[in-house]
Amino acid sequence: MRDITYAQSIREAMTEEMHRDSSVFLIGEDIGVYGGAFGISLGMIDIFGKERIIDTPISESAIMGAAVGAAMTGMRPIVEIQFSDFLTIAMDQLVNQAAKIRYMFGGQVSIPLVVRSPSGSGTGAAGQHSQALEAWFAHIPGLKVVIPSNPYDAKGLLKEAIHDNNPVVFLEQKTLYRSIGNVPEEDYTKKFTAEVKKQGTDISIISYGRMLPMCLNVAEQLEKEFSIQVIDVISLRPLDTNTIINAVSQTGRVIIVHEAVLRGGFGAEISSVITESESFFYLQAPIRRLGGSDTPIPYNKNLEAHCIPSQNDLIKAIHELMAY
């Protein structure tokens, strides 16, 4: 095991898979010499050349359409969209084509497509470059949606996504790029299933992506007061409901935390999974959701930070639930 960053783990996953399989290629804006908006593909063009690290014009719709077509012919494209906000420009190709072609062709063709995109706030990029839109994509039958929270998971999950014969939206929350974690040198993949990152008996915190490290920090801070369980959802679609249900049944108290706007956020889906299962009968307090404010993300650093759940918000919610 060695310590590398979240960004390096993603680059390693792509590089290793491109060495392994000549049908894998990377396509997107400024991913060649420039190395991508966040430097993820830096140096890859020197290894694979411009035929497999394909710089494109500024047209997300064209990028996605080309990738869908390539996937239909047996290639395994990895699309990089500079900011997940720009996936809105490619929604027709992603939602109406990539997600539905296998079904509408009666299984005669697969779409082994990975769409990588930086998501979320925290970099002062303002309202059009800071959204967390994962609930949109998780709503679409035919798409898989994965959000890793640490370098180890990022590498294993991306490899699993590249091997998958279905379109996978792989969201990388951009403030995690410089986070460091243990990643083995040997080859490995990670399944799209939830994971209990910390065991506990008093309360379950369910989260994913950028919020997951914060939840673990809070759980450690309050360790002398409460036994806090932390569950990383990892994959929004497919959603590992069994792990969630079993975890909640053990503690009887739940807080769901995500960066995305609370209204219509994926936390509501997780809440429904709980209330519509046998774990509902183990609840000792109402389910609590923490999510982003119902506002576009401001440019101002302090206002931006105020728009998403903080450690103090989570600590307060834990004390309130434990009072029941």
Cα→Cα distances 188→34, 171, 176, 179, 209, Å = 29, 20, 21, 20, 20
CA–CA distance, 249 with 10 (Å, rounded to integer): 35
41: Cβ contacts below 8 Å, ≥ 6 apart: 11, 14, 26, 31, 32, 35, 53, 80
CA–CA distance, 231 with 207 (Å, rounded to integer): 6
Q: Are the C-beta atoms of 200 and 229 separated by less than 8 Å?
A: yes
Q: In what order do the strands lie in the sheet with 228-232?
A: 195-198, 228-232, 203-207, 254-261, 288-292
Residue 197 carries which DSSP code?
E
* Active site (annotated) includes residue 163: no
Number of helices and strands in the chain (H, E): 12, 14
Examine residue 57 and say whether the peptide bond preceding it is cis (omega within 30 degrees of 0). Answer: no
- For 55-60, the CB contacts below 8 A with 24+ separation are 55/28, 55/29, 55/30, 55/31, 56/27, 56/28, 56/29, 57/29, 58/29, 59/89, 60/86, 60/87, 60/89, 60/90
Residue whose entry in the numeric block shows the structure tokens 């490619």: 90
Catalytic residue among 19, 129, 163, 258: 129
Active site residues: 129
